[in-house]
Structure 1
Amino acid sequence: MTDYSFMVPFVPLRPQQLLPYAALAQWSSTRCMWQGQAAASDPMQTFTYAAAQGFQTPVGTSVQLMPFCHPFDATLRARSLAAGTGQPVVAGFGPGAKVLQRSLLGAPYRSQLGAVRDYLTIVRSLLETGKADYEGEFYSCRNTVPPMPLPAIELGVGILRPRMAELAGELSDVAISWLTPAAYLRDTVIPALRRGAEKAGRPAPRVAALVPVALSKPERDVIQLALTSNAGHMTLPHYIDMLRRSGIDVNMEESPENSAKALLAGGAFLYGDRSELKDRLKEFEDAGVDEIVLNLTGVAGLEGKQVALREIETLLREVAP
């Protein structure tokens, strides 16, 4: 059975802003509370703050960007998060856009797949054995971490295209997608995950799909909702390529409005009443997604955090099975 979770649909500027969402995660049927990477605050610290206030819930990061820290530091942060919350953690990582890599590292990774392989190999070794002895082209590590009693830490990787999905099948516990239509996951991503897992002789990772979604209301402008939620991603080459592979042609320079309409028509952004959303989300379940993460960043951005919180609650109660 597919689990349902939600993403905190804004970047907390103060950790206190997270607490109503953490309370919802604690008492609802959600599997996990997720946050993404941002420059304004660190999700691992805000998650730990919420736990210290009494709201202890499983959490997921989606996706921490590799250029921000060395894999040894990433391991320490994931372990500290699990210790601080006392709950299971999905520690998700990804290389980010080439423009980000250039801004922080001086140049993009020569190979995105090679950098991810180095990074995940080191983190996996440290999490599972407490030591790493690895020399890679992009990341190396010869160090140890002390043994600690910790809740489960699942190693995640962001996936958009088949070659990264195949690598995730080899190395990760959780494959994390963003803005990916159900049919594309079914026909392209999940088969690639299985190929990678089969090659490595291990079980395929579970799939967590972060799905942009909003309930239809007479006063809402669905085009603005879709753009508020996804405009930044629709300007990045790797997202543009993934969307085109899934049959969605976006061109933000030429027409943001037509790009938003293409997202809606292609099932990358879901909009409808409760019955319609239930049917559309069922497509992700049928595609083989193990965890659907409701992403209401468009609602939060246009109508505020409290409106988004109430809508997540409604969706979890009336749309999720």
Structure 2
Amino acid sequence: MTLGIALAATNVENYVDAIVAKARTAHDLGLKSAWFGQRMDYDSPALAAIVGREVPGLQVGTSAIPVVGRHPVNVAAQAQTAQAATHGRYHLGLAVGSTLIADAFGTPFDRPIARLREFLTATLQLLETGTADFHGELLTVTPTLPTAVPGAQPRPPVLVAAMGPQALAVSGELADGILPYLAGPKTLTTHIVPAITRASATKPRVVAFVPAVVTADIEAVRAHALDQLSFYEQVPSYSRVINLEGASRAADLALIGDEETVAAGIHRYFEAGATEVVITSTDLSSPEDERRTWELVGQLAADRVGA
């Protein structure tokens, strides 16, 4: 799995039906994986399970479930259900979260790295052994019934949307890899890949999420990207990696242009140490441009397999 897309939909009558239809089209165009963000409306692991069930052969993933406001027993149950539904094609993504997420649950956003460590430790116990006996400072995980789901093998990979030094250290020690977003090639090369590699006992997965659109209407799409991606500029973790790249706006990290331009941009992420690239925000332009983007990514995926 080297190239995939993040799927989302707007202005639809039925969100699940719309995403399944988009996933089928993407798969037909040669894409091998589809990823779904965890928002405050749909449930990402459930959506991934449905898509993976409806589109056999497509790898599906969550990017990413914030650990604040959630418990490992619930998240492990969701992940195993998705893994069984897809016959081993689900990838669990976790995130530290933010004050925005914590406020929605009415919980404090305190000691985020300690919480991430405890959450990963307990979740991996649940996924690997079918139970846990974990007593941390922030979490207690002692299920009174077995937690293993028949058919949820192998254990789903666990990845973390980690980009800061402390989160990278914990993720390298405990997780299978990371899911950086808006971290450009320079930031990957100089900050993120060296940190996660030092912290990992084995070669970690580095799944870079990159906004990209193939289009002839570059200025209009860039203006839309400036508006749609500006939210991330207010989040400290994203603001940090945008600045590290030498950019001032999140949209500066978007690959926008013709096929040659976007392909060259994607190639730079692999050169920077990404093991996989997931293209996001392909709906910033028209449906025709979105399909054009997917066609390019599908062809690039086929080329990498054949190389």
- What band does the TM-score fall into relative to the shorter chain? 0.7 to 0.9
Question: Alpha carbons of 1:161 and 1:272: their partners in 2 closer, same or farther (altered >3 Å)?
Answer: same
Question: Alpha carbons of 1:241 and 1:83: their partners in 2 closer, same or farther (altered >3 Å)?
Answer: same
Residue 318 of structure 1, CA deviation: 4.4
Question: Alpha carbons of 1:180 and 1:229: their partners in 2 closer, same or farther (altered >3 Å)?
Answer: farther
3-state secondary structure, aligned to 1:79? helix
Could you say which residue in structure 2 is the equivalent of 1:141?
Answer: 141
3-state secondary structure, aligned to 2:179? strand
3-state secondary structure, aligned to 2:283? helix
Residue 175 of structure 1, CA deviation: 0.6
| Paired positions, count | 297
1:300 matched to 2:283: yes
Residue 159 of structure 1, CA deviation: 1.3
Instruction: Output the CA distance in 2 between the equivalents of 1:151 and 1:222.
Output: 42
List alignment gaps of at least 5 residues for structure 2: none
Instruction: Output the CA distance in 1 between the equivalents of 2:47 and 2:205.
Output: 25
Alpha-carbon RMSD: 2.3
1:280 matched to 2:281: no
2:188 is aligned with what amino acid?
L
1:208 matched to 2:207: yes
2:226 is aligned with what amino acid?
L
- Which residue of the other structure, out of 167, 172, 175, is the alignment partner of 2:175? 172
2:124 is aligned with what amino acid?
R
Question: Alpha carbons of 1:23 and 1:230: their partners in 2 closer, same or farther (altered >3 Å)?
Answer: same
- Which residue of the other structure, out of 154, 157, 169, is the alignment partner of 2:157? 154
Residue 219 of structure 1, CA deviation: 6.7
Residue 87 of structure 1, CA deviation: 3.5
Residue 170 of structure 1, CA deviation: 0.6
Pairing of 1:63-82 with structure 2 (within 5 A)? 63-82=64-83
1:155 is aligned with what amino acid?
V
Question: Alpha carbons of 1:146 and 1:285: their partners in 2 closer, same or farther (altered >3 Å)?
Answer: closer
Residue 290 of structure 1, CA deviation: 0.8
3-state secondary structure, aligned to 1:189? helix
2:127 is aligned with what amino acid?
L
Instruction: Output the CA distance in 2 between the equivalents of 1:91 and 1:317.
Output: 23
1:269 matched to 2:261: no
Instruction: Output the CA distance in 2 between the equivalents of 1:117 and 1:307.
Output: 43
8 Å contact from structure 1 (residues 97, 238) kept in 2:
no
TM-score normalised by structure 2 residue count: 0.88
- Deviations along 1:252-277, whole A, 9 cap, x unmatched? xxxxxxx35xx42xxx2112211111
3-state secondary structure, aligned to 2:183? coil
Residue 54 of structure 1, CA deviation: 5.1
My pick for the range that moved more, 282-291 or 38-47, is: 38-47
Instruction: Output the CA distance in 1 between the equivalents of 2:87 and 2:224.
Output: 36
3-state secondary structure, aligned to 1:177? coil
8 Å contact from structure 2 (residues 83, 151) kept in 1:
no
Could you say which residue in structure 2 is the equivalent of 1:90?
Answer: 91
% identity of equivalent residues: 21
Could you say which residue in structure 2 is the equivalent of 1:18?
Answer: 19
1:65 is aligned with what amino acid?
P
My pick for the range that moved more, 306-315 or 149-158, is: 306-315
